[in-house]
Amino acid sequence: MKLFKRKKDKELYPFISRFLIRLNQKLLTCANYLQQRTNNFSRRKRILLLFVICLVFVTESAVVVVKSLQRDDSVLITVAPIRLIAPTPRSHTFFPGNEYKRIEQFKQLLNSNKNFRDSILAARPYLMDTLNYLQKIYKQHEK
């Protein structure tokens, strides 16, 4: 019995491998360009250039470390509690009487004309349910 399954090597997707190949080619061309530019430098000049580059990066790293260790209260990120707004009581909506009459008239129109009703209900299948629901809400608010 094996305790650990052998990991299978996953193949990269073709577009990723093409991207990595192109990136490698670009890096090689940049390295060749820099090599040609520095070929005519003397040994002392190359060492001085390397020292300057190292000095710049070490200085920048030191600045970042010192800035992170300093206590500056204006820059600190603080966590503040989220304050909830007190909920307001819901006011019951009031349906005007003429709106309710319009709903009743529309239902009567649908009930009186079968062809009209079938064409509308084919386009809007839940229309009657919505009208009944609105009437139910109106009657609940009326009490």
Residues 65 and 101 in one domain: no
Q: Render the burial of 52-87: b for 16+ CB within 10 Å, e for the rest.
A: eeeeeeeeeeeeeeeeeeeeeeeeeeeeeeeeeeee
Residues 103 and 59 in one domain: no
pLDDT exceeds 70 at position 53: yes
Q: Is residue 4 part of a domain?
A: no
Q: Is residue 117 part of a domain?
A: yes
**Which residues, 6+ apart, have CB-to-CB distance to 138 below 8 Å?**
95, 100, 103
Q: Maximum CA pair distance of the chain?
A: 104
Gyration radius of the chain's alpha carbons:
39
Residues 102 and 61 in one domain: no
Q: Is residue 77 part of a domain?
A: no
15-26: per-residue pLDDT in tens? 888 899 999 999
63-109: per-residue pLDDT in tens? 988 888 886 666 566 778 888 888 877 665 666 778 888 888 888 88
Which of 52, 69, 86 lies at the terminal end of a domain, its last residue?
69
What pTM was estimated for this model as a whole?
A: 0.35
Question: In total, how many domains does the chain have?
Answer: 2
Query: Could you give the 3-state DSSP secondary structure of residue 68?
Result: helix
**Structural domain harbouring 121:** 97-142
Cα–Cα–Cα angle for 18, 20, 25, rounded to 5 degrees: 95
Residues 23 and 63 in one domain: yes
Please check whether residue 141 is in contact with residue 94, taking contact to mean a CB–CB distance below 8 angstroms.
yes
**Which residues, 6+ apart, have CB-to-CB distance to 38 below 8 Å?**
46, 49
